[in-house]
Amino acid sequence: MNASRIAPLALYQEVAERLRERIFSHELKPGAWIDEQAIAEQYGISRTPLREALKVLASEGLVTLKPRRGCYVTEISERDLDEIFSVMALLEGQCARDAAGKASESDLAQFKKLHDALEAAAEKNDINGFFEANQAFHHAVQSVADNHWLQHVIEDLRKVIKLSRHHSLFSDGRLEQSLAEHRDILKAMLARDAAGAETAMRTHIHSGRKALARIAAARTEAA
């Protein structure tokens, strides 16, 4: 009986991942209606695994299911971003505090290595490389903090943030500012200063939100 359930479960999970990628790339734009019939035909599947996949994405906040109207890619407002980043600052700040207290010498060396990658990307003005190194650094901090509930919620919130049409690193001066903030985080980590690491991480997250707000304001003025 269990063997007969493996394929259907794997199918809807794969469909969810494909749709997730299309949403993050904005191929499926915020507010867009999900044409279930067209997608089912495109993927060569029935509507059942597609609807199961949409339920998964709805639980992550990436799509919104509207009774009698269908499914839509979630639109994220400036207020949503304010609220999400406030929660993110608390959660990632706690991770930084915990990691500073738990980190081994090997963990600290890994933080330093990842930070060096940030420095190298910043020197080349490589935004994509900086973003990847930044993500790796944050994931490493969360891994050392070793609280899978915190990590799970952070990952879900970061998925929702990806719905934003803007990227904070494209704000003038943000890459340099982010690098300086990471230096503060690393300094606190290396000193095993839990309170300092928490404060530095919260400052870093709030600064990212302010950068997004500046981009949104500039786009509005230009429109």
Residues ≥6 apart with Cβ < 8 Å to 159: 20, 24, 60, 61, 62
Residues 6+ apart with CB under 8 A from 141: 92, 95, 96, 99, 111, 185, 189, 201
Can you tell me the distance from the alpha carbon of 159 to that of 9, in angstroms, rounded to the nearest whole number? 22
pLDDT tens readout for residues 45-94 = 999 999 999 999 999 999 999 988 999 999 988 999 999 999 999 999 99
pTM beyond 0.85: the answer is no
Residue pointed to by tokens 């500039």: 218
* Residue 5: band (very low, low, confident or very high) from pLDDT cuts 50, 70, 90: low
**Residue in the block written with tokens 């738990």:** 102
User: In Å, what is the CA distance from 74 to each residue of 31, 34, 106, 119, 164?
Assistant: 6, 11, 41, 35, 10
In the chain, which residue ranges form alpha helices assigned H by DSSP? Answer: 2-24, 36-43, 47-59, 78-102, 105-123, 127-145, 148-161, 174-190, 194-222
Q: What would you report as the CA-atom Rg of the chain, rounded to the nearest whole angstrom?
A: 20
pLDDT band per the 50, 70, 90 thresholds, residue 8: low
> What domains, with CATH codes, occur in the chain?
2-73 (1.10.10.10), 78-222 (1.20.120.530)
Give the pLDDT confidence of 96-110 residue by residue, as tens digits: 999 999 999 999 999
Considering only residues 98 and 29, tell me which one the structure prediction assigns the higher pLDDT.
98
- For the stretch 82-111, what's the b/e string if a residue is b when 16 or more beta carbons lie within 10 angstroms of its beta carbon? eebbeebbebbbbbbbbbbeebeeebbebb
Phi and psi for 16 in degrees, rounded to 5? Answer: -60, -40
- For residue range 67-80, what is the model confidence (pLDDT) as tens digits? 889 999 999 889 99
